[in-house]
């Protein structure tokens, strides 16, 4: 492009354009175009001729490499002058174009000639004159002379043009060292990613898939920003910061909720997870609708909220007893710290060197390593938790065995007492009557009717003892009729009003389960009779999709569970319910009656 007339007019009129002067003196040194003069082109329609006609429109940047993200500008113009006091005239302007879309370099030469070159940071990699992961423009600056340069930068996300002048030797040396370093950190992260992929196929836990997705998209974004994605995979030129960061955020939220077990340790975070992930759809929609600057502005604000989401969730989970959360906090904290250092470099508050330039790679590698430790720690945590639960189960089994033996002994004692005091006494009475009647000269007349009644009483005693061991109605009539009979006989005997409403539940459960259900209901009814002082009792038994619901309620005096947590025969009920795999909801208060609700799975 030529702008001879404009250039001559400007020189003749003596107008001074604001400019940054860069002096090149040592061919082995890198010369950054820091704190540049810039001009915003909000519509992106300004031509080069219009730009050089308005020198006062340029502003000096207050940061080393300015960011243009929320101003909704479509293009940014930079201007600087270069004085070549070095022994070489062939230099190269390197622009780190990870965020860029299209960059055009204009060089004003004596006589008004203008040289220009346009390169794309996200496409046409093979068209670059020097195939590097950054955009490299060859510039000819004769020794001892000065040249003026303009740069027009456009982007579909963040406009951040980090520029520097180098010789080919300096470019090669810096690129070699940077490539080895970044390659090492990237390979380290990939190795951890592959390791956790192997662990996933071994354990089949989704948290490893979320980790893999998160680390992979993070690495992809880091390489996109550094320019390596287009250099290595030109066919991925459709990728951009807005879409990738949204994917990174979604995977991080999935990993956070899965790893930290938020459903258990941070319930309110767990309930909000879908809303948080849905928020990251907005910048993607804005991007594909062509609102590039607005999309990155919304995304940047969401990223700040996401960082707070990470830290808040990790800290609460750790405080609620999930110890592996400390690794989670450290991993995401390391990534945030490295990003903060990188931003300080952009602001010119930290001197630039390899380690500072590679903060994004280092942060990703540190995070991948620490999160791998976190996953390993989680396995160890649950292993210890499993061992603790096994030990508790063992002690509970011992306790249950002791209680079972104690109950068996008590049952035997009860049966022995009933056999001795009840049935035994009746049999002795029958025996004595028969013996007296058989003695010679006995005056006692043995009445067949009286003897028959005594035998009938003994038979009933045997039935009562047998019924206490196993209700015969269960085998003869089924569970439904047995429960009805139990409620009617028990409450009629004490003249309590009652209502019983039960579905037909015969055949729903095994014989052992039926016994336990019957005994649970029996225990509740017996305790109502003995302790409640109730006038009305309600028994409702209903089928459900996944089992059986039993409700037993009375209007009696109730009890305070804080004073006697195992009162009202709860111990035996809980043990039987545990065998059934069911749950109990108990509502009771002094003078407020008592309500039992049992859920028994089929």
Give the burial class of 150: count Cβ atoms within 10 A of its Cβ; 0-12 exposed, 13-18 middle, 19 or more buried: buried
pLDDT over 70, % of the chain? 83
Strand partners, 429: none
Give the pLDDT of residue 44: 84
Contacts of 215 (CB under 8 A, 6+ apart): 189, 192, 193, 196, 364, 367, 368, 371
Average pLDDT over residues 421-425: 67
Give the pLDDT of residue 437: 66
pLDDT above 50: residue 286: yes
pLDDT above 60: residue 526: yes
pLDDT tens digits along 18-43? 457 899 999 889 898 888 899 999 88
Which of these, 23, 242, 18, lies nearest to 146 by C-alpha position?
23
Integer Cα distance of 87 and 167 in angstroms: 11
pLDDT tens digits along 228-267? 777 777 777 677 888 888 999 999 999 899 888 899 899 9
Integer Cα distance of 315 and 284 in angstroms: 30
Query: Which CATH number describes the domain made up of 4-166?
Result: 2.60.40.2380
The 162-166 sheet, strands edge to edge: 31-32, 162-166, 90-96, 135-140
CB atoms within 10 A of CB 401: 10
Give the pLDDT of residue 5: 37
Q: Which residues of 538-549 are buried (b: 16+ CB within 10 A; e: fewer)?
A: bbebeeeeebbb
Helix (H, G, I), strand (E, B) or coil at 428: helix
pLDDT above 70: residue 72: no
pLDDT tens digits along 180-220? 777 787 888 888 888 888 888 877 888 889 988 988 988 88
pLDDT tens digits along 472-522? 667 677 888 888 888 888 888 888 898 999 988 888 888 888 888 888 888
Give the pLDDT of residue 99: 75
The two structure tokens encoding residue 1? 């492009």
Domain residue extents for the chain: 4-166, 175-392, 473-602
pLDDT over 90, % of the chain? 18
Give the pLDDT of residue 480: 87
Torsions phi, psi of 22, nearest 5?
-110, 120
pLDDT above 70: residue 448: no
Give the burial class of 371: count Cβ atoms within 10 A of its Cβ; 0-12 exposed, 13-18 middle, 19 or more buried: buried
Integer Cα distance of 19 and 21 in angstroms: 6
Which range has the worst mean pLDDT, 85-99, 458-472, 521-535? Answer: 458-472
Q: Which residues of 280-319 are buried (b: 16+ CB within 10 A; e: fewer)?
A: beebbebbeeeebbbbbbbbbebbeebbebbeebbebbbe
Average pLDDT over residues 443-469: 65
Asked if 316 and 266 count as a contact pair (C-beta separation under 8 A), the reply is yes
Integer Cα distance of 570 and 557 in angstroms: 16
Contacts of 575 (CB under 8 A, 6+ apart): 400, 403
Asked if 578 and 516 count as a contact pair (C-beta separation under 8 A), the reply is no
Is the domain spanning 473-602 CATH 3.30.565.10? The answer is yes
pLDDT tens digits along 226-238? 777 777 777 776 7
Which range has the worst mean pLDDT, 9-13, 50-54, 89-93, 404-408? Answer: 9-13
pLDDT above 90: residue 106: yes
Give the pLDDT of residue 8: 36
Helix (H, G, I), strand (E, B) or coil at 284: helix
pLDDT tens digits along 374-419? 777 767 766 777 777 788 777 777 776 676 666 666 667 767 766 6
Asked if 192 and 331 count as a contact pair (C-beta separation under 8 A), the reply is no
The two structure tokens encoding residue 527? 């305790």
Integer Cα distance of 600 and 546 in angstroms: 8
Give the pLDDT of residue 11: 36
Length of the chain: 602
């Amino acid at each position: 492009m030529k702008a001879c007339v404009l250039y001559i007019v400007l020189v003749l009129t003596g107008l001074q354009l604001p400019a940054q002067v860069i002096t090149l003196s040592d061919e082995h040194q890198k010369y950054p175009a820091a704190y540049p003069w810039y001009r915003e082109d909000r519509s992106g329609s300004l031509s080069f001729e219009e730009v050089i006609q308005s020198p006062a429109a340029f502003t000096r940047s207050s940061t080393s490499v300015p960011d243009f993200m929320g101003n909704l500008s479509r293009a940014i113009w930079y201007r600087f002058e270069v004085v070549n006091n070095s022994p070489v005239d062939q230099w190269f302007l390197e622009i780190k174009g990870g965020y860029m879309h299209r960059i055009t370099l204009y060089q004003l030469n004596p006589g008004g000639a203008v040289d220009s070159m346009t390169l794309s940071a996200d496409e046409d990699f093979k068209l670059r004159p020097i195939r590097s992961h950054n955009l490299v423009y060859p510039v000819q600056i004769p020794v001892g002379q000065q040249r003026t340069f303009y740069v027009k930068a456009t982007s579909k996300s963040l406009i951040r043009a980090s520029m520097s002048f180098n010789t080919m030797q300096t470019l090669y040396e810096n690129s070699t060292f940077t490539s080895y370093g970044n390659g090492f950190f990237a390979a380290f992260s990939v190795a951890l990613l592959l390791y956790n992929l192997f662990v996933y196929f071994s354990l089949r836990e989704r948290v490893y898939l979320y980790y893999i997705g998160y680390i992979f998209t993070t690495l992809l974004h880091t390489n996109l920003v550094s320019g390596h994605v287009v250099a290595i995979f030109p066919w991925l030129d459709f990728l951009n910061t807005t879409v990738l960061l949204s994917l990174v955020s979604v995977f991080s939220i999935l990993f956070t909720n899965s790893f930290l077990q938020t459903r258990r340790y941070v319930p309110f975070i767990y309930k909000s997870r879908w809303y948080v992930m849905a928020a990251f759809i907005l910048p993607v929609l804005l991007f594909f609708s062509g609102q590039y600057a607005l999309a990155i502005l919304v995304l940047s604000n969401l990223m700040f909220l996401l960082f707070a989401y990470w830290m808040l969730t990790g800290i609460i989970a750790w405080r609620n007893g999930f110890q592996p959360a400390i690794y989670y906090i450290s991993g995401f904290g390391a990534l945030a710290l490295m990003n903060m250092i990188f931003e300080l470099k952009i602001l010119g508050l930290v001197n630039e060197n390899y380690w500072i330039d590679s903060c994004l790679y280092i942060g990703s590698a540190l995070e991948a390593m620490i999160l791998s430790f976190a996953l390993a720690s989680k396995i160890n945590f649950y292993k210890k938790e499993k061992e603790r639960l096994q030990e508790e189960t063992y002690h509970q089994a011992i306790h249950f065995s002791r209680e079972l033996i104690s109950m068996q002994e008590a049952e035997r004692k009860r049966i022995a007492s009933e056999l001795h005091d009840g049935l035994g006494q009746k049999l002795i009475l029958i025996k004595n009557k028969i013996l007296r009647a058989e003695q010679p000269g006995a005056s006692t007349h043995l009445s067949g009717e009286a003897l028959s009644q005594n035998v009938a009483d003994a038979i009933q005693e045997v039935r009562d003892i047998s019924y206490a061991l196993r209700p015969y109605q269960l085998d003869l009539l089924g569970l439904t009729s047995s429960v009805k009979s139990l409620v009617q006989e028990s409450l009629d005997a004490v003249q309590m009003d009652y209502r019983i409403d039960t579905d037909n539940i015969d055949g729903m459960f095994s014989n052992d389960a039926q016994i336990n259900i019957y005994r649970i209901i029996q225990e509740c009814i017996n305790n109502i009779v003995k302790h409640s002082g109730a006038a009305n009792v309600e028994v409702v038994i209903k089928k459900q999709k996944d089992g059986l619901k039993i409700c037993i309620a009375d209007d009696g005096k109730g009890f305070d569970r804080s004073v006697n947590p195992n009162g009202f025969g709860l111990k035996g009920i809980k043990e039987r319910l545990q065998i059934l795999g069911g749950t109990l909801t108990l509502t009771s208060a002094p003078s407020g009656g008592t309500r039992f609700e049992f859920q028994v799975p089929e």
